[in-house]
């Protein structure tokens, strides 16, 4: 089983992403955190087994870029690949995310099918079977 951590402040988005991940790969165990601070706490905990992070950018309080920087600054977790999944279509956000250390960047699609399509190659790259 591979563990994927979803960091997003929207419970509905977490649920949709979870469904998309499970439908893409039955060998994925999905964990989630409703924001940056609980996410970092989870990542730094002893039981953390996250192998891939799906990170939202626009979150209240600690935003996605700040979370990303914190992950990359922490030796314990800095190697975990991070895919930014965001509704922002601004090029500047994309640039900021890549500069902060994101491995990939996708826009949150409207349809579940599209989400599954977008996730397949990402999962293949970072969580090979």
Partner 1 sequence: MLIKEDYFKNIFNTVRNSILILDENLRVLLANRSFLTTFKVDSRETVGSLLYDLGNKQWNIPNLRVLLEDVLPKNTTVDNFEIEHDFESIGHKTMLLNACKIIEENNNHPIILLAIEDITEHKRLEDLVIESEKRYRRVFETASDAILLLEKREGHIVQANPAVEKLLGYFENDYKGKKLQDIGVSIDTSDFPAIMQNLNKEGAIYYNDISVETKSGQQIYADIYMVDRAELAQCNIRDTTKRKMTDESLRDSTAKLHTVNKELESFIYSAAHDLRTPLRAISGFTDILLKRYTGQLDEKGKDYLQKIWKGTERMSSVIEDLLHLSDVSRQDVQRRWVNLSEVALSIVGRLREAAPGRKVDVTIQQNLEAQADPGLLEISLSNLIGNAWKFTSKTRDACIEFGTIEKDGKLVYFVKDNGAGFEQQYVDRMFQPFHRLHTASEFDGTGIGLAIVERIIQRHGGKIWAEGEVGKGATISFTLA
User: Which residue stretch of 24-32, 45-53, 63-71, 108-116 sits at the interface with partner 1 (rule: CB under 8 A)?
Assistant: 108-116
Contact between 18 and 30 (Cβ < 8 Å): yes
Report which of 78, 2, 11, 13 is spatially closest to residue 40, judged by C-alpha positions. Answer: 78
Contact between 104 and 127 (Cβ < 8 Å): no
Using CB under 8 A, which of 19, 34, 98, 106 touches partner 1? 19
Which CB sits closer to partner 1, 48 or 114? Answer: 114
Where residue 61 falls (left for φ over 0; alpha for ψ -120 to 50; beta otherwise) is left
| 113 scored as a contact of partner 1 (CB under 8 A) | yes
Cβ neighbours, 10 Å, residue 75: 7
| 95 scored as a contact of partner 1 (CB under 8 A) | no
Measured distance CA(71)–CA(118) in Å, rounded: 24
Site map (CB under 8 A) of partner 1, residues 24-43, x = contact: --------------------
| 63 scored as a contact of partner 1 (CB under 8 A) | no
User: Which residue stretch of 32-40, 44-52, 71-79, 106-114 sits at the interface with partner 1 (rule: CB under 8 A)?
Assistant: 106-114
How is residue 58 written in tokens? 């626009």
Name the site residues for partner 1 (rule: CB under 8 A).
10, 12-13, 16, 19, 58, 87-90, 108, 110-113, 115
């Amino acid at each position: 089983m591979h563990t994927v951590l979803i960091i997003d402040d929207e419970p509905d988005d977490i649920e949709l992403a979870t469904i998309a991940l499970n439908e893409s790969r039955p060998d994925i165990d999905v964990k989630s955190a409703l924001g940056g601070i609980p996410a970092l706490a989870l990542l730094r905990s002893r039981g953390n087994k996250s192998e891939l992070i799906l990170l939202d950018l626009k979150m209240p309080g600690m935003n996605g870029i700040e979370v990303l920087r914190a992950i990359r600054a922490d030796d314990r977790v800095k190697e975990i690949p991070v895919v930014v999944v965001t509704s922002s279509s601004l090029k500047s956000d994309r640039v900021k995310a890549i500069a902060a250390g994101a491995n990939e960047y996708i826009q949150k699609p409207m349809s579940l099918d599209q989400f599954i399509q977008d996730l397949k190659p990402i999962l293949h790259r970072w969580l090979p079977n």
